[in-house]
């Protein structure tokens, strides 16, 4: 039986630009982050993933968004729950348009204007819609399942 993927993601926004992680091979983008490991909190996973992918330390703030998605990729059905946290950069301050380093050759980081998100290939669709609306100041739940809309 397939598993539900639980993913912690970072919303780092500065002066109207959001940090996007780009899949170098396929070109689509998403909020930085990754899978939560067993026994790990979602906040801890967010900080760990940011550090693993960029080498940067960050402070993870409050939860902003929870989404539920089901989609086909590579001939396989995926079911994922994304937990998005507000994140602030610590250490050396990195502002757009400064480059954010990537420790993984398959990933690149870029600052994208929130106004441009709607025309970009940002995944999943629920997070793209949330970003396109400017994000929310209160916790938001979005489900891609037809019985929850």
pLDDT in tens, 98-138: 788 899 999 999 999 999 999 999 999 999 999 998 877 66
Kindly indicate the confidence band of residue 148, based on its pLDDT and cuts at 50, 70 and 90.
Answer: low
The reported pLDDT for the residue numbered 74 is: 81
pLDDT at 140 over 70: yes
Return contacts of 137-143, CB within 8 angstroms, 24+ apart: 139/62, 139/63, 139/64, 139/65, 139/66, 140/64, 140/65, 140/66, 141/65, 141/66, 141/67, 142/65, 142/66, 142/67, 142/68, 143/67, 143/68
pLDDT at 6 over 70: yes
Output the pLDDT for position 14. Answer: 85
| pLDDT score at 64 | 95
Q: What is the pLDDT of residues 52-93, one digit of tens each?
A: 999 888 999 999 999 999 888 888 888 999 999 999 875 566
What CATH number has the domain bearing residue 74?
Answer: 3.90.79.10
Structural domain of 111: 4-148
Domain count, the chain: 1
- Which pTM value belongs to this model? 0.89
Phi, psi of 52 (to 5 degrees): -60, -40
Question: How far is Cα 75 from Cα 113, in angstroms, rounded to an integer?
Answer: 32
Q: What was the pLDDT predicted at 1? A: 58
Q: What is the pLDDT of residue 146?
A: 65
HSE-up (13 A, CA, CB side) for residue 13: 18
Determine the pLDDT at residue 77: 87
């Amino acid at each position: 039986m397939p598993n539900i993927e639980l993913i912690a993601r970072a919303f780092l926004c500065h002066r109207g630009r959001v940090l996007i992680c780009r899949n170098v091979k396929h070109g689509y983008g998403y909020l930085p982050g990754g899978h939560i490991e067993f026994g790990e909190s979602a906040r801890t996973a967010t900080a760990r993933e940011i550090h693993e992918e960029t080498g940067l330390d960050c402070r993870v703030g409050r939860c902003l968004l929870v989404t539920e998605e089901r989609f086909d990729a590579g001939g396989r059905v995926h079911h994922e729950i994304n937990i998005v946290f507000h994140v602030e950069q610590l250490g050396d301050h990195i502002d757009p348009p400064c480059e954010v380093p990537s420790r993984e050759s398959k990933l690149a980081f870029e600052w994208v204007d929130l106004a441009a998100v709607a025309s970009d290939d940002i995944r999943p669709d629920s997070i793209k819609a949330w970003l396109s609306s400017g994000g929310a100041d209160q916790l938001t739940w979005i489900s891609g399942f037809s019985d929850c809309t």
